[in-house]
Amino acid sequence: MTDYFHLNAGPELLQGISSLGLAHLGDGVFELMVRSWLCLHGKATSKGLHRATVRYVAAPAQARAVEKILPLLEEEEHDVFRRGRNTSPHSVPQNASRADYQAATGLETLFGWLWLQGRTERLNTLFAVMMEEEECR
């Protein structure tokens, strides 16, 4: 049985997954981390949790957050981010610019890639940098 909470995908498998596939997974990973962060920082009502979650996982917020970690990325991580960022989106949400949406897709691609390798410590490190100056609103 596969343990989906402790993965260790190899390079061959990761290369076979599209950028959009990695971004799809990374979107869920990032949202779960945001939801956990909000709960641990005192957001208690479901209405408040939902609104706060949307605020942090929206493309413009992700684009601002990714700027904080770009200087910290290893070469291979940066390549994965760039691969996701350069994926042509079929549509862009109306609350985001094309550049913000592409940066957010790059971040999600990176998070999906790290998750599939079981690199949760690295995910936590990058997430902590992104959230360190944020107030739980």
What pLDDT score does 62 carry? 96
Q: Is the dihedral of CA 96, 113, 55, 66 positive or negative?
A: negative
Question: Which H helix or E strand runs over 120?
Answer: helix 120-131
What pLDDT score does 136 carry? 59
Using an 8 Å Cβ cutoff, are 81 and 67 in contact?
no
Our measurement of the distance from residue 126's CA atom to the centroid of its chain's CA atoms, rounded to an integer in Å, reads 10
Using an 8 Å Cβ cutoff, are 103 and 66 in contact?
yes
Between CA 61 and CA 67 the distance in angstroms is: 10
pTM of the model: 0.91
pLDDT in tens, 10-27: 989 898 999 999 999 999
What pLDDT score does 87 carry? 86
27 is catalytic: yes
Using an 8 Å Cβ cutoff, are 24 and 112 in contact?
yes
| Average of per-residue pLDDT across 98-115 | 95
pLDDT in tens, 41-97: 886 677 788 888 999 999 999 999 999 999 999 999 999 999 999 987 677 777 788
What pLDDT score does 96 carry? 81
User: Which domains can be identified in the chain, with CATH numbers?
Assistant: 11-131 (1.10.1520.10)
What pLDDT score does 137 carry? 55
Question: Per the residue annotation, which of 3, 27, 79, 100 is the catalytic one?
Answer: 27
- How many separate helices (H) and strands (E) can be counted in the chain? 7, 0
What pLDDT score does 69 carry? 97
Confidence of residue 133 (pLDDT cuts 50, 70, 90): confident
Q: Is the dihedral of CA 25, 105, 85, 135 positive or negative?
A: negative
Neighbours of 125 (CB within 10 A): 13
Confidence of residue 128 (pLDDT cuts 50, 70, 90): very high
